[in-house]
Amino acid sequence: MANNLRIGIVGLGRLGKRHAEALAFRTRHCELVAACSPVADERSYASAQLGITRVYEDFDTFLADPGMDAVVLVTPTSLHADQTIAALKAGKHVFVEKPLALNVEDCERVLAVAQQRPAQVAMVGFVRRFDPSYLNAHAAVAAGEIGRPFLVRSQTCDQNDPEGFFVRFAPTSGGIFMDCSVHDIDLARWMLNRPKALRAFATGTIALHPALAEFGDVDNGLAVVEFEGGARAVFYASRTMAHGHETSTEVIGTAGKLTVGEHAASDRVVRSDTHGVRHAVVKDFYERFEAAFGAEMAAFVAACRGEAPLSLTLDDALEATRIGLAITRSLHSGMPEVV
C-alpha cells in the first residue's frame, strides 16, 4: 500500500486516549482521520488535542464515513463484538481491545463474519505479545531453551486505586478474570503452544472494595487451569497492590525456567542504604507496556498494509474468552468447571 492507512478511533477513555496519541503522533504509515465518542469532553479532546476534524457522536454515522480504511475500537468490552462485526461489514480493518467478547457465542459471531472477509484484518489487543521481554521469552521457549514447557504462573496485579475506577467498570468488564487474567490466559496458551484447555478452578476474595460484591466480582482472584497433555497454568489477579503495578510471568520447563517482569522495576536504579535495597516500581499497566502498545499499533498498521501477517488470531481471542469464562463460572460456583 503506497498511501498511509486512514484510521478512525472509537472510545477516547482511559486507554483510547493513549492509543489515539500513539496513532496520531508516533505510528508510521498511518493517519488518525476520525474519532467517535458519545462523551462531549472526549469529542472536544479529539478536535483540540488531536486536530481531528471528523468527530462523531454516533457510531453508525462514524462507520459510514467513506474516508477510513481501518477502525480501532477502545470501547467497553460489552460492545466489542457488535462493533467489530459492524465495522467488518462496513469494509474496514478492525483492531479491537481485549477481550473480544464476554461470551463464546459473540466471539463465534465475529469469527464467522471475519472468515467471510479474509482480505480484512481483525486483531484483538493482546498487548503482551508485542512486549520485547515477552517476545524474548517466547523465542527462547520456541527454541527449546527450557526443554518442554509444562507450567505457566502468571499474574496481573494493579496498584490499589482508592477512587475505584474498576468498580465503575465492573458492570461491563466481565469481572477480574475476563478483564485482567485474560492477558495471562493468552500468554499461557502462547507459551505452551496452544494446548486445549480442559478444566478450571478459581477462588477469590474482596480485600478492599466491597462494592464489587454487587457484581459478583472480587478484587483478588486465583485460578488454576488444566490443559490436555499435562500442562498447567496458575493465574493471580489483583486490584489492590500497595506498591505499584506488577505483571509477571514464569514459564517452567523440563530443562529450566524463564521469568518475565519480576519486581516491576520502573528503571535500572537500585538504592542500597541503611533501609535496605530497593528500586522504584511502575505505577500502572500503561507505564509497564507503553513500548508494547506502540509496537502493537505498528503491527496492526503493517498487517492492514499487507506488509506483515499477524500470528495472533481471532481463534486465540475466542479461546482466551472460553477459558476466562470457565474460570469466572468456577469463581461463582466454587467448583471446578469444564472449559
Per rule CB under 6 A, count of chain residues that contact ligand NAD: 24
Contacts of 72 (CB under 8 A, 6+ apart): 7, 8, 9, 10, 19, 23, 95, 297, 300
Nearer to ligand NAD, 150 or 190 (CB): 190
For residue 24, what is the DSSP state?
A: I
Nearer to ligand NAD, 97 or 250 (CB): 97
Q: Which residue in 34, 73, 33 sits closest to 56, CA to CA?
A: 34
CA 186 – CA 174 distance, rounded (Å): 16
Residue span binding ligand NAD (CB under 6 A) among the ranges 5-13, 132-140, 207-215, 311-319: 5-13
Alpha helices in the chain, H assignment, sequence order: 14-21, 40-50, 59-63, 80-89, 104-115, 132-142, 165-173, 176, 182-191, 285-304, 314-333
Minimum gap (Å) between residue 243 Cβ and ligand NAD: 19
Nearer to ligand NAD, 128 or 305 (CB): 128
36 binds ligand NAD (CB under 6 A): yes
Nearer to ligand NAD, 149 or 261 (CB): 261
Amino acid at 257: K
In angstroms, how far is the first alpha carbon of the chain from the final one? 42
CA 210 – CA 287 distance, rounded (Å): 28
Minimum gap (Å) between residue 98 Cβ and ligand NAD: 5
191 binds ligand NAD (CB under 6 A): no
Minimum gap (Å) between residue 62 Cβ and ligand NAD: 8
Minimum gap (Å) between residue 305 Cβ and ligand NAD: 22
The residue within the footprint of ligand NAD, chosen from 16, 149, 204, 244 (CB under 6 A), is 16
Is there a contact between 101 and 107 (Cβ–Cβ < 8 Å)? yes
The residues in 58-117 that bind ligand NAD, with binding defined as CB under 6 A, are 59, 74-77, 79, 97-98
Nearer to ligand NAD, 40 or 242 (CB): 40
The residues in 151-190 that bind ligand NAD, with binding defined as CB under 6 A, are 179
For residue 95, what is the DSSP state?
A: E
The residue within the footprint of ligand NAD, chosen from 4, 6, 15, 133 (CB under 6 A), is 15
Q: Which residue is nearest to ligand NAD (CB)?
A: 13
Residue span binding ligand NAD (CB under 6 A) among the ranges 35-43, 227-235, 304-312, 321-329: 35-43
Minimum gap (Å) between residue 222 Cβ and ligand NAD: 20
CA 233 – CA 155 distance, rounded (Å): 11
The residues in 271-290 that bind ligand NAD, with binding defined as CB under 6 A, are 285
Nearer to ligand NAD, 252 or 310 (CB): 310
Cβ neighbours, 10 Å, residue 87: 27
3-state secondary structure of 184: helix
Amino acid at 45: Y
DSSP per position, 192-257: TTSPPEEEEEEEEE-SS-GGGGGGT--SEEEEEEEEGGG-EEEEEEEEEESS--EEEEEEEETTEE
Nearer to ligand NAD, 4 or 78 (CB): 78
Nearer to ligand NAD, 94 or 146 (CB): 94
Is there a contact between 226 and 232 (Cβ–Cβ < 8 Å)? yes
Residues in contact with ligand NAD by CB under 6 A are 10-16, 36-39, 42, 59, 74-77, 79, 97-98, 125, 127, 179, 285
